[in-house]
Amino acid sequence: MKRTVISGFFNLLVLAALAWGAWWAWQNFAQRDNGAAAQAEVLDIDKQCHVVADSGQCVCRHRRTEEPLAVPYEECVALARRR
């Protein structure tokens, strides 16, 4: 009985370690690659950009998801003027 409990506990620890390793790999590798691919697929019509008057910074967001987009400054300003 005691050996079965210890064996079950060990199996649970191994399963938890594998789950943590899979989660860590997903966070560090899979999402980074998907984010870059999704970033490139955004159409200009889906980008909403505006220039902040006080600082001169230009910020672009996806029009539906409100996710910040990494857009070069010159392109951001051109998109903001187009509105």
- Kindly write down the DSSP assignment for every residue of 14-65, as one continuous string: HHHHHHHHHHHHIIIIIHHHHHHHHHHT--GGGEEEEE-TTT--EEEEETTT
pLDDT score at 42: 86
Asked if pLDDT for residue 77 goes beyond 70, the answer is yes
Query: What's the pLDDT tens digit per position in 3-45?
Result: 898 999 999 999 999 999 999 888 887 666 555 445 557 888 9
- pTM of this prediction exceeds 0.75: no
Determine the number of helices (DSSP H) and then strands (DSSP E) in the chain: 3, 3
pLDDT score at 34: 53
Spatial distance between the Cα atoms of 11 and 16, rounded to a whole number of angstroms: 9
Domain boundaries, the chain: 1-41, 43-83
Higher pLDDT, 62 or 34: 62
